[in-house]
Chain A
Amino acid sequence: MTDGPDGLDAHGSPQDGALPRNVPALLLRLQQEGFSGTVTVSASPGGTIHLRDGLIGAIETPGTPSVESVLLKSGRVDDKGWAAGLTAVRHGGEHAAALVGQGLTGAAELEILCVATVFEGAFAMSLVRPEGWEVGAVAPAVLAPRGIEPRTVAEETTRRLALVSRQWGSPADLARAKMRPSARADRVAGQLTSRYQALLAVANGRRSPRDLAFTLGRGLFGVMVDLIRMNDLQLVQWENGLPADRPSTAPRLLPGGRRVTTEARTPPGELPRRTAVARRSDPGHPDGLDS
């Protein structure tokens, strides 16, 4: 078992002999070793990354629905079929192969779902700073038939974080926001796509994007992107006002009455120093699964 500290470097590459600096660095090292097993990340939400021969086969996290959740919620597979798959696992088989073998889902369909869930899980886990991790033995899971390279997952997670940051602001803030349909949504309900209608039907002011994802059996990132677009179309109203999407540009005063300005105050040759008031809200933590 290996316990790792919280990584702070977003560009960690494995270093021989040293503890990996973050989860992506750990995954790269495990890929080089051809490791099969699990990496359990402690955070809120944490999660379990399943590796086979160094490649990511599945990510399970409370932050986004698992393959099981999506299959059961959509009605694609019923409880009885799922349980039959679990029986196959006990007899040494693969859960995914059992589900396909029983005709409950197509092989390609399941593979697409498994791959999508890996990327969704990585995105959900990247929204918080990991507290630590533990490398453990192989555990049963519905694995993507072909594992995905950790670097590919990290790059896609970076792209997703950047996209939400660009179009909205802090992904972590959006993940916590609660919303309900606006008055305009009721007026134009008939013209909306079924995806938007489904989201509006369950957005009750108590559910975060993560809760909506579980309610509908969809991925977190897809729900967040839809909500950003729905916000632009004025279809949703946010509880407790609009979540902070960017820092205010209102004049700020430093102790002593000095104003924060864009004028360069740093003497030549010295590095600029961050001031406490210039901080923006949490933009997500690239040391999670980002590269």
Chain B
Amino acid sequence: MYAGSSVTSLASLVDVLASLREKVMGVSESVLSTTDGLLVAADTDTAQPEAVAALAAATLGLGARMAEQAGTGALRDVVIRCGGGHVVVLAVGERALLSVLGDEGLDVAALQRETPATVEQLTGLLEGDVPA
């Protein structure tokens, strides 16, 4: 369990992350963090959630700058493909990031189909952080 705005919303966030693991073949762990690299919630096994959270901010920032430099339009996500697995980083609204860790067999197409709904759910849960 990791720091969040309230215990109730933290459990809900972790549920959404665990649900993504169930829905998409090959997803093994995931981390939700703020855009400045602080850990919000994690569904992890061996990964260090704080380290992933910090690196997610840097990864997406670099990706956005590269996309801008290349003139390829708005950044959707950053996919890191390795010999033994995948890391996908994407924005959740304007203030949070989602990092998804998967094995080499990750169903990337299924992940891209599922992430809009996951992002919407997470965004809805995080809206409570902002005072009305």
A interface with B by C-beta (< 8 Å)? 44-46, 61-66, 68-69, 72-73, 79, 82, 204, 206-207, 210-211, 214-215
Contact = CB atoms under 8 A, between A and B. Distances in A.
A65 B106 CA distance: 10
Most buried by A among B25, B83, B84: B25
B50 interface: no
Nearest to B23: A44
B113 to A, nearest CB: 9
Given A44-B25, A210-B25, A214-B26, A65 B83 contact: no
Which of B103, B105, B109: most chain A CB closer than 10 A? B105
Contact of A211 (B83, B84, B103, B110): B103
B98 to A, nearest CB: 18
A204 B45 contact: yes
Contacts of A214: 26, 103-105
Given A44-B110, A204-B45, A211-B28, A62 B105 contact: yes
A183 B105 CA distance: 31
12 contacts: A44-B107, A45-B110, A46-B107, A62-B105, A63-B25, A66-B104, A66-B105, A69-B104, A82-B83, A210-B25, A211-B26, A214-B105
Nearest to A205: B45
A131 to B, nearest CB: 12
A62 B26 contact: yes
A70 B106 CA distance: 15
A214 B26 CA distance: 9
Interface residues of B, number: 14
B25 A62 contact: yes
A69 B45 CA distance: 21
Contacts of A69: 104-105
A79 B83 contact: yes
Interface in B69-118: 83-84, 103-107, 109-110
Contacts of A68: 104
A69 B103 CA distance: 10
A107 B45 CA distance: 38
Contacts of A46: 107, 109
B103 A45 contact: no
Nearest to A61: B105
A45 B25 contact: yes
A70 to B, nearest CB: 10
Which has the most chain B C-beta neighbours within 10 Å: A46, A73, A214? A214
A82 B106 CA distance: 19
Given A45-B107, A204-B45, 18 more contacts: A44-B25, A45-B25, A45-B110, A46-B107, A62-B105, A62-B106, A62-B110, A63-B25, A63-B105, A64-B105, A66-B104, A66-B105, A68-B104, A69-B105, A73-B84, A211-B26, A211-B103, A214-B26
Contacts of A204: 45
Contacts of A63: 25, 105
B45 A206 contact: yes
A206 B21 CA distance: 9
Contacts of B83: 72, 79, 82
Nearest to B107: A62
A207 B21 CA distance: 10
B76 to A, nearest CB: 21
Nearest to A175: B25
Contacts of B110: 44-45, 62
Contacts of A79: 83
Interface string B3-34: 00000000000000000010001101000000
